[in-house]
Chains A and B, each alone.
Chain A
Amino acid sequence: MRTRAFTVLLLATFVAPLLAPPAPAAQGAPIKIGFLAPLTGPFAQIGKDMVNGTELFLDEIKREVAGRKVELIVEDTEGQPSTALNKSRKLVEQDKVHLLTGGLLANVGYALQPFIDGAQIPATYPVIAADDITQRKPAKWIVRTGWTTSQPMHPFADWVLKNTKYKKITTIGMDYAFGYETVGGFQRVFEEGGGQIVQKIWTPLNTNDFAPFLSQIKRDSDAVLALFVGRLALQFMKQYEEAGLHGKLPLLGGGTTTDESVLPQMGDEALGTLTALHYSQAIDSPANQKFARAFEARAGKIASYYSEATYTNMRWITEAIKAVGGKAEDRAALLAALRKVDIKDTARGPLSVDAHGNPVQTIYIRKVERVGGKLQNTVITSYPAVSQFWKYKAEDYLKQPLYAREYPPCKACQ
């Protein structure tokens, strides 16, 4: 008796849906979007946040745009360029996606660039920030919906010059391109405005113990500019306090140093840190409050720039699809539409695109404060409509070399 009931139940579960009339489908075949993120390995959590941001937006629009269904195909890059490349091939050649998006690490971004341009597939980079992808080595088929590494640092240096007494700054950052471009962008504007970088310290990516580096910091600097990501940011903050520097040498930083992906795990040692980024979870706008609340409800953790990046990225993509009337098959038209997006009310503020395919957007100067028992990046002020070239002319800017370990040279370092 029981077995029969079970069989019926089983049949009902699996067969009934086949017999039911198909749900009222959007017209035509679905628009397929391929999404790349590291879902295993050390960056898995950030990858998960990126997927969550994307799915959140798709759910909000009921997975339908311009009368067509949207199908998201997620692939794991493992944080490896070679895997990312293989998965991109699979998405484009096998799944026949109409658009490729995602990616976290700069090396993945550079590895995919020739493939994307070769396959002539419209693509967006919501997180990958390596400057040259939209500067000296622009990719024709990639539109950046995120940021360039140095973009927030130019206005940040401007703000520090005008609002603090810090004239001599020591920098300490991760020894790779993301660190160079952060520090370089800051240094250029800061020194042109009369400030001095008096020391540059680079830490290997696998640093566990910051003590040997912290003890080198010149104690007569006015402030320290730090650039770290993820667990390195967490440890750096803690050890900065241990070394007795917290409160003595004010701390400035690139945005990821206090990003909401690590901020909840930090303690009082992070208080007072000033940073700049194109997002803060604490932005007090209706659009951001709505996003931040929805994300927290969905993911069980607060939104960070990674999740906002992919959420807004998906909005950007759907705006472009609407602009071409849902004809995602017309690759050239879709690419052109992606390069023309202009949205006034994203979670991070108004967004438009420059001629090189990078967003012109608000940069927020933020300070870590404790509000209601929790740490947050309180927005102190903002610079509207900041371009990746800051106030320079694009032609002049592009003639300068890319920010690097030794560029701009450190003239005030002995």
Chain B
Amino acid sequence: MTVEFWIVQTFNGLSYGALLFLLASGLSLIFGVMRIVNLAHGSYFLLGGYIALSVIWRTSTFPLALLAGAVAIALVGIGMERLFLRRLAGQTLGQVLMTVGFALIFQDLALLIWGGDPYSLPLPSWLQGVVTAGALRFPKYRIFIMAVAVVIGALLWLALDRTRVGAMIRAAVDDAEMAQGVGIRVPTVSLGVFALGALLAALGGGIGGGFLGVYPGLDFEILPYAFVVIIVGGLGSLPGAMVGSLLVGLLDNFGKALFPELAYFTLFAPMALILALRPTGLFGRT
């Protein structure tokens, strides 16, 4: 194993982790505030990619496509939370079943609108090609994914840690009843967090579209990865989602590169181990 091997694989793992962060951070925040296991989260990722694809076909503007996908899905998220999930507040099982139902509906809807052929999001020329450093080659698009994840991560952290709204969200995560008691409007906070989570997932889907592609079945393929991330990192914790996604990205990548036959084992064994030793995940609180 050469030094190049480790550098390239680390880079690959980090870039995949960056994409997972966009997906998992929203899922984690939603769970933290609302205690909803949102199984339609993979659908947001998929639909975000499809909408970005449609926009890019018509406008050829990449940033606009990402934005359009993210905003459209945030609105879908608001609708889902306001009109459906809120009616089942406190009924965990009912909510989970409802999100499964939505996931299936979204799946068929996507098939109806976009057909079943796989697509790849066309990239603008400034994101194509590679950056070379000696014998090493780093695809520009993967650098872009990492940059986006770092910016989003920093913004989220600043917002949660340094702003009044962030404090309200943290209060709602810690103890929703108490937060309500001191005058925080928890339902509004929940709605905002749900929309934000949907937005992040859809953004991830748009960005992932240039890398994983957009195709039927992507929703349920990517969802388990998001769950591994938040289980490893700790439910409801932003630093947990960060560390978890990087860890999963690296483990998945090195597992496949070093022990391709054990690809699932190298991904899920650490998860099982962490669950056994720290049932709340690395950053989760009891």
CB within 8 Å of B: which residues of A?
40-48, 201-204, 206-209, 211-213, 215-216, 230-231, 234-235, 238, 242-244, 261-262, 265-267, 301
Cross-chain contact of A231 among B118, B139, B211 (Cβ < 8 A): B118
| CA distance in complex: A145, B116 (Å) | 25
As a 0/1 sequence over residues 236 to 275 of chain B, the CB contacts with chain A under 8 angstroms (1 = contact) are 0000000000000000111011001001100000000000
Task: Tell whether A204 pairs with B263 under 8 Å between CB atoms, given A215-B9, A235-B213, A242-B130.
Answer: yes
Q: Which residue of A lies closest to B129 (CB)?
A: A242
Beyond A231-B215, A234-B119, A234-B213, 5 additional contacts (C-beta under 8 Å) are A203-B260, A204-B264, A212-B253, A238-B120, A242-B139
Task: Tell whether A215 pairs with B118 under 8 Å between CB atoms, given A42-B216, A42-B217, A242-B130.
Answer: no
List A contacts of B139 (CB < 8 A).
242-243
- Could you tell me which residues of chain B, from 105 to 125, have a CB within 8 Å of some CB in chain A? 108, 111, 115-120, 122
List B contacts of A216 (CB < 8 A).
257, 260
| CA distance in complex: A199, B215 (Å) | 30
The 10 closest A-B pairs by CB, nearest first: A45-B116, A231-B118, A42-B217, A212-B257, A212-B256, A231-B215, A211-B12, A44-B116, A242-B139, A244-B137
CB within 8 Å of A: which residues of B?
5, 8-9, 12, 16, 108, 111, 115-120, 122, 130, 137, 139, 141-142, 211-213, 215-217, 221-222, 252-254, 256-257, 260, 263-264
Q: Is the CB of B111 within 8 A of A40?
A: yes
Task: Tell whether A202 pairs with B260 under 8 Å between CB atoms, given A42-B216, A234-B213, A242-B130.
Answer: yes
Q: How far is the CB of A235 from chain B (nearest CB, A)?
A: 5
| CA distance in complex: A201, B222 (Å) | 23
| CA distance in complex: A358, B260 (Å) | 35
Q: Is the CB of B117 within 8 A of A265?
A: yes
Task: Tell whether A45 pairs with B137 under 8 Å between CB atoms, given A212-B12, A212-B256, A213-B256.
Answer: no
Q: Is the CB of B12 within 8 A of A215?
A: yes
| CA distance in complex: A231, B215 (Å) | 7
Cross-chain contact of A235 among B130, B212, B252, B264 (Cβ < 8 A): B212
Task: Tell whether A265 pairs with B119 under 8 Å between CB atoms, given A42-B216, A206-B221.
Answer: yes
Q: Is the CB of B254 within 8 A of A212?
A: yes
List A contacts of B215 (CB < 8 A).
42, 230-231, 234
Q: How far is the CB of A243 from chain B (nearest CB, A)?
A: 7
Task: Tell whether A41 pairs with B217 under 8 Å between CB atoms, given A209-B212, A243-B137, A265-B120.
Answer: yes
| CA distance in complex: A368, B213 (Å) | 21
Q: Is the CB of B117 within 8 A of A208?
A: no
Q: Which residue of A lies closest to B13 (CB)?
A: A212
Q: Which residue of A lies closest to B221 (CB)?
A: A206
Q: Which residue of A lies closest to B11 (CB)?
A: A211
Q: How far is the CB of A2 from chain B (nearest CB, A)?
A: 35
List B contacts of A46 (CB < 8 A).
116
List B contacts of A44 (CB < 8 A).
111, 116, 216
Cross-chain contact of A234 among B118, B137, B216, B221 (Cβ < 8 A): B118
* Cβ contacts A to B, 25 pairs, < 8 Å: A42-B116, A42-B215, A44-B111, A45-B116, A45-B216, A46-B116, A47-B116, A48-B116, A202-B260, A203-B260, A208-B221, A209-B211, A211-B16, A212-B9, A212-B257, A213-B260, A215-B5, A215-B9, A216-B257, A235-B212, A243-B137, A244-B130, A244-B137, A262-B118, A265-B117
Q: Which residue of A lies closest to B119 (CB)?
A: A265
| CA distance in complex: A206, B225 (Å) | 12
Q: How far is the CB of B12 from chain A (nearest CB, A)?
A: 4
| CA distance in complex: A226, B222 (Å) | 24
Q: How far is the CB of B108 from chain A (nearest CB, A)?
A: 7
Cross-chain contact of A215 among B108, B216, B252, B257 (Cβ < 8 A): B257
List B contacts of A40 (CB < 8 A).
108, 111
| CA distance in complex: A212, B249 (Å) | 11
Q: How far is the CB of B4 from chain A (nearest CB, A)?
A: 9
List A contacts of B264 (CB < 8 A).
204
List A contacts of B221 (CB < 8 A).
206, 208
List B contacts of A262 (CB < 8 A).
117-118
| CA distance in complex: A40, B115 (Å) | 11
List B contacts of A230 (CB < 8 A).
118, 215
List B contacts of A207 (CB < 8 A).
256
| CA distance in complex: A301, B115 (Å) | 11
Q: Is the CB of B212 within 8 A of A208?
A: yes
| CA distance in complex: A47, B115 (Å) | 11
Q: Which of B116, B141, B222 has the most CB of A within 10 A?
A: B116
| CA distance in complex: A203, B279 (Å) | 32
List A contacts of B9 (CB < 8 A).
211-212, 215
Q: Which of B117, B142, B222, B254 has the most CB of A within 10 A?
A: B117
List A contacts of B120 (CB < 8 A).
234-235, 238, 265-266
Q: How far is the CB of A105 from chain B (nearest CB, A)?
A: 14
Q: Is the CB of B118 within 8 A of A242?
A: no
| CA distance in complex: A267, B159 (Å) | 40
Q: Which residue of A lies closest to B249 (CB)?
A: A209
List B contacts of A265 (CB < 8 A).
117-120
| CA distance in complex: A364, B240 (Å) | 53
| CA distance in complex: A64, B222 (Å) | 47
| CA distance in complex: A204, B260 (Å) | 8
Q: How far is the CB of B241 from chain A (nearest CB, A)?
A: 19
| CA distance in complex: A202, B139 (Å) | 23
| CA distance in complex: A212, B254 (Å) | 7
List B contacts of A208 (CB < 8 A).
16, 212, 221-222
Task: Tell whether A45 pairs with B115 under 8 Å between CB atoms, given A212-B12, A215-B5.
Answer: yes
Q: How far is the CB of A224 from chain B (nearest CB, A)?
A: 16
Q: Which residue of B lies closest to A79 (CB)?
A: B217
List B contacts of A211 (CB < 8 A).
8-9, 12, 16, 253
| CA distance in complex: A157, B142 (Å) | 36
| CA distance in complex: A211, B264 (Å) | 16
List A contacts of B8 (CB < 8 A).
211, 215
List A contacts of B130 (CB < 8 A).
242, 244
